[in-house]
Structure formats: C-alpha cells, structure tokens
Amino acid sequence: MRLCEPLAVEDHVVQPVEFVSPPKWHLAHVTWFFEQFILSKLPGYKLFNPDMAYLFNSYYETVGKHVLRANRGNLSRPTLKEVHAYRAHVDRAMEGLLAKGLPNEEVLYILNVGLNHEEQHQELLVTDLKYILGNNPLFPPYGAFGEGRAENPGGRFIEVKGGLHRIGFQGDGFCYDNELERHEVFLRDFAISDRLVTNGEFMEFMEAGGYGQVDLWHSDGWQWVQGNRVDAPLYWHQVDGAWHCYTLQGLAKADPSLPLSHISFYEASAYAKWKGLRLPTEAEWEVAQERFHWGQRWEWTNSGYLPYPGYKAPAGALGEYNGKFMVDQMVLRGASVATPPHHSRPTYRNFFQPYHRWQYTGIRLAKG
C-alpha cells in the first residue's frame, strides 16, 4: 500500500504489455493468496466477493479458472476503492487468526509462503511501475527511488579452486522448494569478477557495434535483436547526442559508474563474449558469492532453470509455484535495488525467459 501511495488512480490500471501487471492487480492478487489458501479453509469465514477468486488468481490451475494474463489491464472493475476494501477485509481476518494462534503447522507453512510471495510482488510492483511510467512519453517520476551505487572502477577477478562443492539451501529458515535438495556439484577452477559491469563499459560495447556483430549472439538472441530493433538497454534514449535512461526519479543522463541494468540474457551473453569472457554458472556464483558484494542487480547466469537432484514439488496448488516453470528459462542470482530487505539469500534462484529485461538485471563476468 505504501508503494502505491505516489500513484494516481489512473496509474493503477495500466498494462502496457502482457508480462507487466497493473498495480491494482498486484494489490488484489497478494490478498487473494491469503484468502484462497488460508482463510477460505476456516469454518465461518465469509468471502469478501466470490468473483475475486476468478479475477485475481494468477496461474493456479488446480484452484479454478483465472483471467488471462494479457487481460489484467481490462479490469476497470472492481474499482481501486473496492480492492482497498478487499485488502482491509482479508487483513482483518488474518490479524484475527494470528491473534488466536495458527491452528496447525500446515497453516504456518502457507503463511510463510504467502508473506514471501507478497515480498516478491512488492519487487514486481516496483519494476512493473517503472515499465508503466517509463513507457509514458512524459517520463513522469515516481519518487525518490535510487538506482544503486557506483561500482569499484578497478575491480579484480577472484580465483576459485575447483573440485566438489555443495550448493542449495540448508538450515531452519524459509526457502522455496526450488532451492532444494542441497547437493554436490563438481566445478573446474574458475575466476569471477568482484564487481558488476557498468553503464560506461556497456557503452563501449555499443559504440563498437556490438548489437550488429552476429557472431556474438545466440541464434535466438540475434533474431530477438533484429526483430525488435534493439540497440540499447531498456529505458535508454538518445537525447542531444548523449545517452539518457529513465529512472524512477525521471529521465536522467546515464551514469557511467552505475552498474548496468535492464538487459536480457542475450545481451549479457553477447557482451561477455565480446570481452572474451563468459557468464558464471549458478553453481559458480553460489560457491563464490561470499567473496564479493552482491544485491544491486539480479545477475544473469549461464544456467538453465532446471530442478535440482532430488527435487520434489509440494503437493496441491502450491506445487505450481515453481516446478511448472522449469523449462525455457535462465537462472538469475543475487537481488536488486527493488528487492525488499531480507528477501534474498545466497541460494535464491530467480528465473526468467532470456528475452526479459524489465527487472533490474545485470552482468557479472567469469572466466576459466
């Protein structure tokens, strides 16, 4: 709700492209999660409005039908006022349940998933807002939301010894099912950069004609570049002969010292190849992460999003949360400036199709 405070009512219903959801939809969907998976199972609970289950289910096929993702921007009704009332109704019921005490361990587990799910949508809300406002020809500012801090201009490569290493979550805290099971991986000796690629460094790639050098690109990437006429990161614009980029504080001259952001896996891979280097695998990233600072950008890895050995999706609808997306996507590691505090850990596996770049995505290079 605080993230939406700077918005006008009109901002809440815009959906420029299919992969961006309107802010109003985010507000209602995270509320639906608690009502659907916890409150509706309790005796005596009265649904706020039975239509909400159809309107704000995202993709959970096992709990009923849902509005097509591309049609979320058509939901002028229910109104924003009604969505706020829906949130208040569910929040009161959840607060009452928590005051009495959770009935069993299963509800505690679902509550934990729901809280982490809402944190994921807080980040998606920020990045969806940036896409909505960044595609408005006026480039309106959202507010004082920083793009990160400058990277060390020097930097170095950290040498990591190969051999057997263990990756995956362990401990008593929360993790998603895709972070399990913890297992051994064999790595060769490698080196990984202690910092992210900067805007200034990527400008050199652009000035060298990197977007036009077919030998740098995957076949799908080259088709994506050509078909979409891509010649710069998302939100970059030429103004009076200089590169500017849209930030949540408005349009600003691109700062060469800031870490590069909003690039696809295709662009990340092409840049790495242009430098004579490569992207790290997700196992390399996890093994090395204690030796460098991370958290400004989600970092593309050269690993496809696949189940770990021994992976088991949870039973029921929550089994749809991660497992069914384990195809045709690439893993990103770390966190970004839009990630809520404490919603990151070394084993966290983010994932998107290789052409997506509306998240705060960046590059860390590796070799060996």
Q: Give the per-residue pLDDT at 313.
A: 86
**Chain CA centroid to CA 285, Å:** 17
Per-residue pLDDT tens, the chain, 368 aa: give them.
999 999 999 999 999 999 999 999 999 999 999 999 999 999 999 999 999 999 999 888 888 899 999 999 999 999 999 999 999 999 999 999 999 999 899 999 999 999 999 999 999 999 999 999 999 999 999 998 999 999 988 899 999 999 999 999 999 899 999 999 999 999 999 999 999 999 999 999 999 999 999 999 999 999 999 999 999 999 999 999 999 999 999 999 999 999 999 999 999 999 999 999 999 999 999 999 999 999 999 999 999 999 999 999 887 777 777 778 899 999 999 999 999 999 999 999 999 999 999 999 999 999 99
Task: Compute the distance between CA of residue 271 and CA of residue 210 in angstroms, rounded to an integer.
Answer: 8
Q: Give the per-residue pLDDT at 61.
A: 82
- Structural domains of the chain, with CATH: 9-134 (no CATH), 157-367 (3.90.1580.10)
Q: Give the per-residue pLDDT at 321.
A: 73
Q: Give the per-residue pLDDT at 144.
A: 87
Sign of CA dihedral 249, 253, 258, 260: positive
Q: Give the per-residue pLDDT at 160.
A: 98
Q: Give the per-residue pLDDT at 152.
A: 85
Task: Compute the distance between CA of residue 126 and CA of residue 143 in angstroms, rounded to an integer.
Answer: 11
Q: Give the per-residue pLDDT at 316.
A: 75
- For residues 56 and 29, is the Cβ–Cβ distance under 8 A? yes
Location of structure tokens 């989600």: 298
- In this structure, what token pair is assigned to residue 305? 């999003």
